[in-house]
Structure 1
Amino acid sequence: MVQKWGARKISDNHPCEILADLYSISEKKEKYKELVYTFVGPAGNISRSWTNIANIMNLEFNHVCLAGNELAEHSHNYKFHTELEIVLKKSDVILTDSLPNQFRTEEYINKYQITLERMKLTKKHSILNPCPPFFRNEEVSEDVISSDYFVGHEFKKNLVYVQQAIILYCLFN
């Protein structure tokens, strides 16, 4: 198992990051399995990892981006959308990742950037969890990062604990 784990390329998947995020969310939201998770951005390691964990843990997961970025077939655990505002109204947790160069266009950013106004469309007590490094005024706006929706940089403190737990599990099981 350790060899398989270590052999995974983080450009394809990022399991520790997502497990740490989910653990951090569970600390803030007791019924974290009942929340609606929405990833906004192109297909990549973070969106792929969220798709995987949604399937494994039976989470309701939305993926919003331009057509052609679909990662799976439509199911309870994965729904692909191209219209952001409609999906935000059903969302508790908004997730993003850094944008690849081809998505750093005015057209894409205008359509999919998470702003304070867009976060106000989400469910009450929703949170924004952008995966670092995130870039203000690209995938997220300056005002939303300064808002109470943003989980903060402390959210990532659990990453090292999750990695340690995985190592201990692998060594002693």
Structure 2
Amino acid sequence: MNLVSLSALSPEDVRAIWRLAALPPVDVQGAAAWSFEGNGIRTRTTFLKAFHELNLSVIELPNLLKTNERVCDLAGYLDPFYDIYVIRESNHERLAEFAASSRRPVVNAMSNAGHPCEVLTDAYFIETTIGPIQKVRICLWGPPTNVFRSWHELASVLGFTLVHVCHESFHETIPNVAFSSASPEAADVVITDGWPRGTEQLSRPLSVEDLARMGNPVLLPTPPFTVGGELSVDPRRYPHFAGYEQKKLLLPVQRAVLQYLLAT
């Protein structure tokens, strides 16, 4: 079983990962291959701590999928040495092809098409601090991103509805996603993400006035966030900011993902 995109999970998989996240770490042992493109300072920090807590030995394979070698050959040669792969790779198609070729679990630590562990973590935060996710009014604010695509997938898997506020040129027909050009009348949580390059002229920052119109919901900006970019309000000055410590949940959720995939 892989976690390349959230659409590959069932509702039972998601709930099982969340249950594991609430439990202390266990000693699973084994060997993990680790290839991490870019900075990703939070994701990098928490995955490395998760490996340690599960007693997984880690071997770094820089730029694993950047070679010209066929992914079937890479997987064929490397699988005997590893129990799981954790890969941050911008080329989602190549990552998915490698996962399909490997006999070991593959975790997408971020690609250009999705950020499943980040979204599983934020959804777990909503579920455990705001209320059952099927009943929470969730608003995505801004143009489509890899994070928002993972939110779309999770909404389809778990059967809840999202409101996605963005310019009409970005509107699509996606199950469980209601696209809008205007903010909803009410929301319980608003999630932002950094704007992809080239979308600045079609995007409007989230303001304190927007938040007030929605009833002052919890603000959950996806880091790294930019005040003056996707946000005109400084989260530190907004009383319902989810807070920096919210991202501490990356560790138990990523640890649970590793533990769950290794067990299955």
Please report the TM-score for the alignment, with normalisation by the length of structure 1.
0.84
* Cα distance in 2 for residues equivalent to 1:24 and 1:104: 29
Aligned CA distance change for structure 1 residues 163 and 7 (closer, same or farther; 3 Å): closer
2:205 pairs with 109, 113, 116, which one? Answer: 113
- Paired residues of 1:43 and 1:71 also in contact (CA < 8 A): no
CA RMSD of aligned residues (A): 2.1
Q: What does 1:1-173 align with in structure 2 at a 5 Å threshold?
A: 1-2=1-2, 3=99, 5-6=106-107, 10-73=111-174, 75=175, 77-84=176-183, 87=184, 89-105=185-201, 108=203, 112-123=204-215, 126-173=217-264
Deviations 1:97-140 (CA, angstroms, capped at 9, x unpaired): 001232334x73xxx3111121111136x211110010012111
Aligned residue type for 1:128 = L
Q: CA deviation at 1:72?
A: 3.3
Matched length: 163
Query: Matches of 2:108 and 2:123 in 1, distance apart?
Result: 23
Q: What is the alpha-carbon distance in structure 1 between the residues aligned to residue 135 and residue 170 of structure 2?
A: 25
* Contact 1:115–1:144 under 8 Å retained in 2: no
Quick check: which has more Rg, 1 or 2? Answer: 2
Does structure 1 conserve the Cα–Cα contact (< 8 Å) formed by 2:195 and 2:230?
A: yes
| Cα shift at 1:30 | 2.8
Code of the aligned partner of 2:253: V
Aligned equivalents of 1:152, 1:7: Cα separation in 2: 25
Contact 2:144-2:170 within 8 A present in 1 as well: yes
Contact 1:46-1:97 at 8 Å conserved across structures: yes
SS of the residue aligned with 1:80?
A: strand
Report deviation, 1:144: 4.4
Any idea what SS the aligned residue of 2:151 has?
helix
Unmatched 5+ stretches in structure 1 = none
Match of 1:32, SS?
coil
Instruction: Give the secondary-structure state (helix, strand or coil) at the position aligned to 1:100.
Output: coil
1:30–1:134 distance in 2 versus 1, CA, 3 Å: same
Give 1:6's aligned amino acid.
V
CA contact under 8 A between 2:186 and 2:215: conserved in structure 1?
yes
Tell me: CA distance 1:159–1:71, structure 2 relative to 1, closer, same or farther (3 Å).
Answer: farther
Describe the shift of the 1:129–1:8 C-alpha distance in structure 2 as closer, same or farther (beyond 3 A).
closer
Q: Which runs of 4+ in 1 moved over 6 A?
A: none
Judge conservation of contact 2:206–2:233 (CA < 8 Å) in 1.
no
Q: TM-score, normalised by structure 2?
A: 0.57
User: Whole-Å Cα distance in 1 between the matches of residues 212 and 222 of structure 2?
Assistant: 20
**Following TM superposition, by how much is the alpha carbon of 1:7 offset from its aligned partner in structure 2, in angstroms?**
5.9
Q: Identity of paired residues, percent?
A: 28
- Given the superposition, is the C-alpha separation of residues 172 and 143 from structure 1 closer, same or farther in structure 2, using an over 3 Å criterion? closer
